[in-house]
Structure formats: structure tokens, C-alpha cells
């Protein structure tokens, strides 16, 4: 029997859509100019970049601000946090949610070491930030609040516009990391009331190595990378024209297909969640069932450590991840599930299945068929 290959790790990264590859192709050879060059080739590259920028700005309703292209969502989040801090030195308190991605947490912790006051906004057991706590935390010293739109591990979607309101009233900058939600959930920076927004390409079938930070007009940030002054001096370095063009194309496709695709993914997601909870004992869904990305399923399996199940499923040809793919470099249980009060066993035993554009219904059927066997095999070995 031919070994199956089922990719269910779209939240880690996505394959590049062939339509995107096609759009990028000319910019590797035929149109390879540097957009900073004054000659025709340079200008042509520049136009392509500006066209992509317009597409992305349109997708978020971002005309009252600018989009800076960066190399990764991690860089965008670093730029948002350090950039704001360096440009606004009079305020010294930063508030971030406890379930932010490591790139936000570790940037904020770095500022804490430099003397900033860092406060973590708690979440409830479904992973929703405690809004009443936020209002109490904000004070005269508060520089910024950073809360992600949707969580990368368990997919919970926050009420961003409510947070935006609170921040606006208090006069503090509001940054949101939308790396997981851009192109998957509707985004309107005006309705959300964000001042800075992090966006990513490779989570929506665009190429890796390109991302962006949107900034509302009037928001001052200092660059964290210096050089030849690209992107209005905010992000020096030769621009990755092909990747930017690809991201623009990926954005257009994602926005156009979002509604229909989400409907399809939602059906698959619910089928998978229901199937697991019904057929496998000792399983729990992590995160909010409803306010959740349409492609995210995060389940804890009692008595099993996540990595074992990941590798066991890999033997069946199914690619998944434990909490966040990045954390395989550390042994600590998921900080996201711990912040939700899940406890160690549940946090260690969590698996994220993230669905995407090429996930088929029969792949979910196959997974539901083999999963009980994989779980039973590991539970036989387990001491718990």
C-alpha cells in the first residue's frame, strides 16, 4: 500500500499556491531589478512592489496608514515593540497577553530587562483575554498593549475591537499580531482600532521570508535594521521583490476565497473535533469552540505526551504539531495552555491539527480511523 501523506500543519506554514508561484516567476530572472535602481528594470520592480502593497493595504482597509515590508512576522513584531519603545521613550510600561507568540513575549521581556515594566494580560480557560483586567492595568506610564487577533496554538479569536476601544480611550498604542488570522478572518484596521498590525505571507499560501507591519498615520517607530533606507528608512535591506509580489497575489486569492473556504474548513474542523471527542476517551478540546479559526483543532490526549503522538502519526503519514512548532526546541509545556489553566498533563498532551486549502474530507476520515490506534498504542506504554 502506498504510504499516505496528509499535511495538517497549515498553521506552522503552508505550501505556496501554484497561482502564487506563477505570479512570482518573472521576478527571479526576467524582471530581477533592484527596486532602488533608477533605471527601467528598477522601476519595474518598484511598481510590482507598490502594486502588492496596495493589494495588502486594501485587504485590511489600511489606507490611513503605511505598510512596511519585513522578512518575517517575528521581525514585524520586534519592529512594533522595539520600534515604538525607541521612538516614545517617555512611557515605560508594556502590556501583552500571556498567550502571545514567543517573538512578542521575548521582545517584551528584553525591554523589561532594559528597565521597562512588563505586565501580562491573563486569559480565561478558553483563551480569551480578560478585558476588565486590561482596563485596570493601563495607566499613565503605559506605552502599548499587544494582543494577537487569533492564537497560533489553539485558534481562539479575541475581541480585538473591544481592546482597541479601551486602548483608544486610554490613549495608548495598540498592536495586534494577525499572523495567524490575516487572510483567514476579516480584518479592518479601522473597526478593530489597532495602531499597528503584524501580517504574514507564508500562513496564507504565499512564500516564506516576507511579512509586514502596518502602522497608522502618526504612529512613530524607530527602525531596528539600519542601512540604505528602504521602506522610508524603517526597514533597510534589498527588497525581496518576488516574495512581495507572491504575497500580494496570495492575499488577493485569500480574500476572494475566504468566505467559501472558511465554510468548507469549518465543516471539516467540526467533523474532526466531534469525531475525536466522541471516539477517543480522555480527550479535550483546547480553546473556544466557536470563537476559533476555521482551520484549527487543538486536542489534549490524556496519558500521552504530545511529541510521541506527533511521531506516531508521522508513521501513518499525517503531519501535525504539538502546540507550536517552534517549541520543539524547548521542553516546557505550552505557555498558552498553561496560561489557560489547563495543567501540565493537558498542556504536555496537546496536539494541533491545522487544516488548509488542500485538506480533503476523506483525509479527515482517514485520520479519524487511525487516530484511536495511535493513541491506544501509546497509552499501552504509558505509566499514566
Partner 1 sequence: MNYSKKVMRHFRKPHNVGKIKDASGVGEVGNLVCGDMMKLYIKVKDEVLTDVKFETYGCAAAIATSSVITDLVKGKKIAKVLKMSNKDIIEELGGLPPIKIHCSLLSVEALMEALWNYHKKEGKKVPKELEKRHEMIAKVRQV
The residues of the shown chain that bind partner 1, judged by CB under 8 A, are 303-305, 307-308, 311, 315, 328-331, 333, 344-345, 348, 380-384
Residue 124 CB contacts under 8 Å (≥ 6 apart), including other chains: 130, 340
- Rank residues 1 and 329 by Cβ distance to partner 1 and give the closer one: 329
Residue 6 CB contacts under 8 Å (≥ 6 apart), including other chains: 317, 318, 319, 363, 366, 367
Active site residues: 326
Instruction: Report how far residue 249's alpha carbon sits from residue 311's, in angstroms, rounded to the nearest whole number.
Output: 34
CB of residue 356 vs partner 1: minimum separation in angstroms? 24
CB of residue 119 vs partner 1: minimum separation in angstroms? 25
Q: Tell me the CA distances in angstroms from 316 to 190, 278, 363, 371, 382, one per residue in order.
A: 45, 21, 12, 9, 20
Q: 142-146 and 117-121: which strand pairing?
A: unpaired
- Rank residues 43 and 382 by Cβ distance to partner 1 and give the closer one: 382
CB of residue 288 vs partner 1: minimum separation in angstroms? 25
In this structure, how many other beta carbons lie within 10 angstroms of the beta carbon of residue 289? 11
Residue 101 CB contacts under 8 Å (≥ 6 apart), including other chains: 73, 74, 77, 148, 152, 177, 179, 324
- Rank residues 59 and 374 by Cβ distance to partner 1 and give the closer one: 374
- Rank residues 133 and 308 by Cβ distance to partner 1 and give the closer one: 308
Beta bridge partners of 182: 185
- Rank residues 9 and 75 by Cβ distance to partner 1 and give the closer one: 9
CB of residue 17 vs partner 1: minimum separation in angstroms? 29
Cell matching residue 287: 480553546
Instruction: Report how far residue 214's alpha carbon sits from residue 79's, in angstroms, rounded to the nearest whole number.
Output: 11
Instruction: Report how far residue 227's alpha carbon sits from residue 237's, in angstroms, rounded to the nearest whole number.
Output: 6
CB of residue 336 vs partner 1: minimum separation in angstroms? 15
Amino acid at each position: 500500500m502506498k504510504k499516505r501523506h496528509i499535511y495538517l500543519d497549515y498553521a506552522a506554514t503552508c505550501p505556496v499556491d501554484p497561482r502564487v508561484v506563477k505570479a512570482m516567476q518573472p521576478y527571479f530572472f526576467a524582471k530581477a531589478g533592484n527596486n532602488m535602481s533608477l533605471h527601467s528594470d528598477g522601476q519595474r520592480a518598484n511598481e510590482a512592489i507598490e502594486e502588492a502593497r496596495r493589494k495588502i493595504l486594501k485587504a485590511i482597509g489600511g489606507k490611513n496608514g503605511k505598510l512596511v515590508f519585513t522578512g518575517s512576522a517575528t521581525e514585524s513584531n520586534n519592529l512594533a515593540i522595539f520600534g515604538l519603545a525607541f521612538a516614545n521613550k517617555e512611557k515605560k510600561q508594556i502590556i501583552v497577553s500571556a498567550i502571545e507568540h514567543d517573538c512578542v513575549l521575548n521582545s517584551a521581556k528584553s525591554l523589561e530587562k532594559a528597565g521597562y515594566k512588563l505586565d501580562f494580560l491573563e486569559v480565561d480557560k478558553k483563551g480569551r483575554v480578560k478585558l476588565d483586567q486590561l482596563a485596570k492595568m493601563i495607566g499613565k506610564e503605559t506605552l502599548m498593549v499587544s494582543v494577537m487577533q487569533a492564537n497560533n496554538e489553539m485558534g481562539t479569536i479575541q475581541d480585538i475591537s473591544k481592546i482597541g476601544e479601551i486602548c483608544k480611550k486610554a490613549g495608548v498604542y495598540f498592536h495586534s499580531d494577525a499572523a495567524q488570522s490575516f487572510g483567514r478572518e476579516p480584518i479592518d484596521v479601522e473597526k478593530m482600532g489597532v495602531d499597528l498590525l503584524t501580517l504574514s505571507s507564508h500562513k496564507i499560501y504565499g512564500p516564506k521570508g516576507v511579512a509586514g507591519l502596518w502602522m497608522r498615520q502618526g504612529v512613530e517607530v524607530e527602525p531596528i535594521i539600519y542601512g540604505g533606507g528602504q521602506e522610508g528608512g524603517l526597514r533597510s535591506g534589498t527588497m525581496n521583490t518576488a516574495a512581495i509580489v507572491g504575497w500580494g497575489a496570495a492575499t488577493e486569492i485569500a480574500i476572494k476565497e475566504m468566505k467559501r473556504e472558511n465554510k468548507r474548513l469549518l465543516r471539516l474542523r467540526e467533523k474532526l473535533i466531534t469525531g475525536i471527542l466522541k471516539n477517543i476517551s480522555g480527550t479535550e478540546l483546547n480553546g473556544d469552540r466557536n470563537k476559533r479559526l476555521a482551520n484549527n483543532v487543538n486536542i489534549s490526549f490524556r496519558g500521552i505526551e504530545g511529541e510521541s503522538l506527533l511521531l506516531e502519526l508521522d508513521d501513518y503519514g499525517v503531519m501535525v504539531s504539538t502546540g507550536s512548532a517552534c517549541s520543539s526546541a524547548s521542553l516546557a509545556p505550552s505557555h498558552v495552555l498553561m496560561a489557560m489553566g489547563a495543567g501540565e498533563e493537558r498542556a504536555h498532551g496537546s496536539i494541533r491539527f491545522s487544516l488548509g486549502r488542500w485538506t480533503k474530507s476523506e483525509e479527515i476520515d482517514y485520520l479519524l480511523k487511525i487516530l484511536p490506534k495511535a493513541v491506544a498504542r501509546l497509552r499501552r506504554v504509558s505509566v499514566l
